[in-house]
Amino acid sequence: MASIKVLVTGAAGQIAYSLLHSIAKGDVFGQDQTITLVMLDIPPMATVLKGVEMELEDCALPLLKEVISTTDYKEAFSDIDVAILVGAMPRREGMERKDLLKANAGIFQGQGKALDQYAKKSVKVLVVGNPANTNCLIASKCAPSIPKKNFSCLTRLDQNRAQSQVASRVGVAANSVCNVIIWGNHSSTQYPDVRHALVCTADGTVSPVPAVVKDDAWLNGDFITTVQKRGGAVIAARKLSSAMSAAKAIGDHVRDWWFGINNKVCCSGASKLWTSMGVYSDGSHYGIPEDIIYSFPVTIQNRDYTIVDGLEINDASRARMDETAKELVEERDAALQFLSSS
């Protein structure tokens, strides 16, 4: 099997520190896949990157063929099979929202162009750095030679959080819950939807989550706000943002995209197994506007996703799905005006 080349940006940061080892040991691309790992960060982090490279070497990992630390786009993006774009400008105190959008529009314009110019045309791109959906849209727009379907943003962390909240409430293992949906933006307007989710209870039966939880007030109230605000709650406790769980979710997202969705326990009783990914909306699904990156439930086959259509949407869901779409349209319109013409 040919070796693959995987790029991680923001490689000197905390999420990457958890993620790189996981990729290098075979958790994401399998135990038979050798990997060249490319680590990109900004020039002030070059020495830290070297330290991470030393540690990866010290892990003595048989699948890790080569590590390339770089601060140069051409070296970073050339011939890559997978790009995991973790690095972004974080919001600093006193920073206006538009300044944040502008800074990140610049970064993802540059990375989109680098993808367009240097990466394999089959490259799979996952954007993690926030605002992830809009950064992903900009990267895609700036890489017209790469299919739009090769771009996605991360909402799997939100999905894992939602899945775990339900599992804990019901008293089952986390993988006994499936088909949770995250709709929309990876932001506090996201809509974690368990109306179509399933749970395997101890006796082996597969049932709709609402029928097992039997508490619609919780499912439509505290459950949703807990998931929406979980990132902030972790920061409040850890004094640092989520890294371990973000890296885990990135691994889940990319592995499912690569190999298809797997669930050993649940959903043998489900007609269809899906996961949530932020993907390009062409306007033909669930009345969501076109030309935004929106998180939908998707099935995956042959490294290609298909949006799950035909799910019944009630009025409350409709309103939440539209609200998060509206935010994404606004983000897009604000970000696009910052794209430089160069």
Amino acid at 228: Q
Among 168, 188, 201, 262, binds its own copies (CB under 8 A): 168
For its own copies, the closer CB: 25 or 113: 25
The answer to whether residue 146 forms part of the interface with its own copies (CB under 8 A) is no
DSSP count for the chain of H helices, then E strands: 12, 14
Angle, helices 315-336/97-118, rounded to nearest 10 degrees = 80
For its own copies, the closer CB: 61 or 270: 61
Among 28, 115, 243, 335, binds its own copies (CB under 8 A): 243
Residue 89 neighbours by CB distance under 10 Å: 18
The answer to whether residue 160 forms part of the interface with its own copies (CB under 8 A) is yes
Residue with tokens 């929106």: 294
Whether the CB-CB separation of 296 and 306 falls below 8 Å is answered with: no
Q: Which residues pair with 193 in a beta bridge?
A: 181
The answer to whether residue 59 forms part of the interface with its own copies (CB under 8 A) is yes
Catalytic residue among 21, 186, 196, 253: 186
With CA atoms as reference, report the closest residue to 338 among 140, 88, 106: 106
Is 196 an annotated catalytic residue? no
Sole window of 89-97, 157-165, 304-312, 321-329 interacting with its own copies (rule: CB under 8 A): 157-165
Among 206, 244, 270, 311, binds its own copies (CB under 8 A): 244
| Dihedral of alpha carbons 103, 280, 151, 112, sign | negative
Rounded to whole angstroms, the Cα distance separating 140 from 133 reads 11
- CB of 283 vs its own copies, minimal distance in Å: 32
The answer to whether residue 170 forms part of the interface with its own copies (CB under 8 A) is no
By CB under 8 A, what part of segment 5-24 binds its own copies?
17-18, 20-21
Among 176, 276, 295, 317, binds its own copies (CB under 8 A): 176
With CA atoms as reference, report the closest residue to 197 among 186, 212, 215, 217: 212
Angle, helices 244-259/156-170, rounded to nearest 10 degrees = 100
Q: Which helix (H) or strand (E) holds 299?
A: strand 292-301
Q: Which helix (H) or strand (E) holds 247?
A: helix 244-259
For its own copies, the closer CB: 21 or 196: 21
With CA atoms as reference, report the closest residue to 161 among 214, 204, 225, 235: 225
- CB of 202 vs its own copies, minimal distance in Å: 14
With CA atoms as reference, report the closest residue to 70 among 97, 92, 42: 42
- CB of 172 vs its own copies, minimal distance in Å: 9
Among 58, 93, 96, 312, binds its own copies (CB under 8 A): 58
As given in the structure block, the two tokens for residue 138 are 């900009």
Half-sphere CA count of 227, side-chain side, radius 13 A: 30
For its own copies, the closer CB: 171 or 283: 171
Sole window of 75-83, 217-225, 233-241, 270-278 interacting with its own copies (rule: CB under 8 A): 233-241
Rounded to whole angstroms, the Cα distance separating 206 from 201 reads 7
By CB under 8 A, what part of segment 248-307 binds its own copies?
248-249, 264-265
The answer to whether residue 139 forms part of the interface with its own copies (CB under 8 A) is no
The answer to whether residue 230 forms part of the interface with its own copies (CB under 8 A) is yes
- CB of 55 vs its own copies, minimal distance in Å: 4
Among 229, 238, 272, 318, binds its own copies (CB under 8 A): 238
Among 1, 2, 60, 202, binds its own copies (CB under 8 A): 60
Rounded to whole angstroms, the Cα distance separating 104 from 339 reads 10
- CB of 159 vs its own copies, minimal distance in Å: 8
The residues that touch its own copies, with contacts defined as CB under 8 A, are: 17-18, 20-21, 25, 47-48, 50-52, 54-65, 157, 160-161, 163-164, 167-168, 173-176, 230, 233-240, 242-245, 248-249, 264-265
The residues carrying an active-site annotation are 186
